[in-house]
Amino acid sequence: MSTTVTFAGNLAEAPELLYTRENKPFVSCRVLVNRRTQNDQGEWVNDEPTAHNVKIFGSAATHVHDSCGSGDPIFVHGLERTEAWADKETGEKRTKDVAVVDNRFGEVGLSLKYVSARIERAPHAAQAC
């Protein structure tokens, strides 16, 4: 069973385009989500940002790499997965939750809540990534 996640925030750093062992493109990045609440005096207060780990695969990865930079507003709709590994130095088991977007499920894009953009269609690939 998979959990669907949807959130909007800002890219913590410029997305770096990487490749899997099968030479498929992907982007691994963090999205910071800031929550604002009103205090008892009615003033708006920013909470500490929550960092979400995101992996984007396929053609969406190349579009994000080419179109987005550090601090850009972005929304993510994908599946939550837990990655597990052993620490190389201590051998201790580690895990982290990752929102995964690929060509089969999910969406990612610039959030237009506080910005405007001109849409330019990307050429369609001959085959899906």
Tell me: the pLDDT tens digits for 33-79? 998 889 999 999 988 999 999 999 998 999 899 989 999 999 999 99
pLDDT of residue 113: 72
Q: Are 82 and 122 in contact (CB under 8 A)?
A: no
pLDDT band of 127, cuts 50, 70, 90: very low
Helices (H) and strands (E) in the chain, counts: 1, 9
Q: What is the mean pLDDT of the chain?
A: 87
CB atoms under 10 Å from CB of 27, counted, come to 23
Counting Cα atoms < 13 Å in the Cβ hemisphere of 13 gives 11
Instruction: Give strand pairing partners of 50.
Output: 33
Q: Does pTM surpass 0.85? A: no
- Taking the alpha carbons at both ends of the chain, their separation in whole angstroms is 25
Q: At 121, is the pLDDT very low, low, confident or very high (cuts 50, 70, 90)? A: low
Which token pair is 128?
A: 């899906």
Share of the chain above pLDDT 90, in %: 67
